[in-house]
Structure 1
Amino acid sequence: MPIPERLTPGKATKNRTQRLLKLLDEISSTLEDNGDQENERVRELILQWNEIACREHDFHEFRDFHAYTSKDDFIISAQRKAKYIEDFQYIESIELVNVIAQAEGTEPDIHYAVDLLDKNFPDGDASDLIFWPNYWFQDENMLHIELTPEETVGYLMARSGRTLQGAPEIELRYPYYN
């Protein structure tokens, strides 16, 4: 299931992609040469990156990205900005949860879908609910629970206080903390 059409991110530009690629290579090279968070050159390069990217990135993202994504996907994700959608629909939120849960689409698509949920359910902590439910529910025994997409959206609406148009009443099986 793809990201709903009206929510799809804009296309990455060739110029921005090339600039980010050059910066990422320089950041990676500087880090390999014993650069750390306090290194002035590393900080300067990350500031340059953040001026071009659609969202701010922290030092740890550059240090760790090789462990969880490719260089190309990292650059694509940097060019996608999730926005708050005033008329966000319940069915769209379900489709986003399905993109994530079914791991359909590219890694940047999944990352963008999580960002959209986080942006549209303030304080909902979508990524924690989906990937680390034990942390979200504050109960170590809940790591492997399986929520339906409807339950996931129900918990996000409940915690964030945002009820989406078209949302049915959703029974929430587990207690949660605001």
Structure 2
Amino acid sequence: MELRTELTPPALDESMVARLTKLAEEIDCGHPEQTLSQLSEFNREAMTELGFIDFQGIYGGQGHETWVRKILAAPFERSVADVTRGELIELARRVMESDGAEQDIDFWLNMLAINIPSERISDLIFWPDEYFNDVSYSQRLSPEQVIEIALNDRDVLLKLNRPWFCSRWVTALDRFLSVVRGRKRPFAGIHNVQVKGQALARPE
């Protein structure tokens, strides 16, 4: 599925990326008092307000160019008012299948967190056992299931203040999530909750 421009990483000026990468390398490997001019130049060109400490240890976790690309893409990570469920599913698929460069995957993951919105979407995708607080949880979720669960998370519903949200639904949702986590027996109306034919709750 193709994504519209608002949901894709921005096209960057490659000459700027090269200049900022060189500056980032010098700052990361330099001394705070000896890299003041490089830091000032980086912030001026990238329109950031980073400090010396922000550059330290970049090399240990990722390439300087990848880090620079993430910095330049950050201002484009924003809420898209009319984002669709299908687009969220495609974003999740790209993240889960690593369908792109590291900085692109990082961009799509941040877009998911902003547009669901959910600060725990990365846990749901990469560490579902932590999301469900169940170390024995081993079910592999599909992109459709990830978005279904994330959109129906209690905290997300409260943030969105959806008009159909009520205490009765909260109770039902809490019970449903407890079924997914395998901690309680299903109750009437939740036995056969599925996403496109795939049961979300694992069998007992």
Q: Shared fold by TM > 0.5?
A: yes
Partner of 2:67: 74
The alpha-carbon deviation at position 154 of structure 1 amounts to 1.6
Letter aligned with residue 4 of structure 2 = E
The alpha-carbon deviation at position 123 of structure 1 amounts to 3.5
Out of 117, 120, 125, the position equivalent to 1:122 is: 117
Instruction: Answer with 127-136 or 79-88: which moved more.
Output: 127-136
- 1:29-72 deviation digits (Å, cap 9, x = unpaired): 12xxxx6xxx5678996686566558777878644443443232
Task: Say whether the 8 Å CA contact 2:17–2:65 is kept in structure 1.
Answer: no
Count of residues paired in the alignment = 161
Greater relative CO (CA pairs within 8 A, separation 6+): 1
Task: Say whether the 8 Å CA contact 2:18–2:65 is kept in structure 1.
Answer: no
Task: Say whether the 8 Å CA contact 2:113–2:120 is kept in structure 1.
Answer: yes
Change (3 A) 1:155 1:42: farther
Change (3 A) 1:57 1:5: farther
**CA–CA distance in structure 2, aligned partners of residues 116 and 52 of structure 1:** 24
The alignment partner of 2:91 has SS state of helix
Out of 84, 87, 94, the position equivalent to 2:89 is: 94
**CA–CA distance in structure 2, aligned partners of residues 83 and 139 of structure 1:** 32
Task: Say whether the 8 Å CA contact 1:83–1:119 is kept in structure 2.
Answer: yes
Partner of 1:22: 22
The alpha-carbon deviation at position 98 of structure 1 amounts to 0.6
Structure 1 residues without counterparts, runs of 5 or longer: 164-170
Structure 2 residues without counterparts, runs of 5 or longer: 162-175, 183-204
Task: Say whether the 8 Å CA contact 2:28–2:58 is kept in structure 1.
Answer: no
**CA–CA distance in structure 2, aligned partners of residues 156 and 57 of structure 1:** 32
Partner of 2:99: 104
Instruction: Answer with 16-25 or 50-59: which moved more.
Output: 50-59
Out of 156, 164, 187, the position equivalent to 1:160 is: 156
Task: Say whether the 8 Å CA contact 1:121–1:156 is kept in structure 2.
Answer: yes
- The root-mean-square deviation of aligned C-alpha atoms, in Å, is 3.5
TM-score by length of 2: 0.62
**CA–CA distance in structure 2, aligned partners of residues 43 and 87 of structure 1:** 43
The alignment partner of 1:9 has SS state of coil
**Matched ranges for 1:140-155 at <5 A:** 140-142=135-137, 144-155=138-149
Partner of 2:12: 12
Change (3 A) 1:140 1:118: same
TM-score by length of 1: 0.69
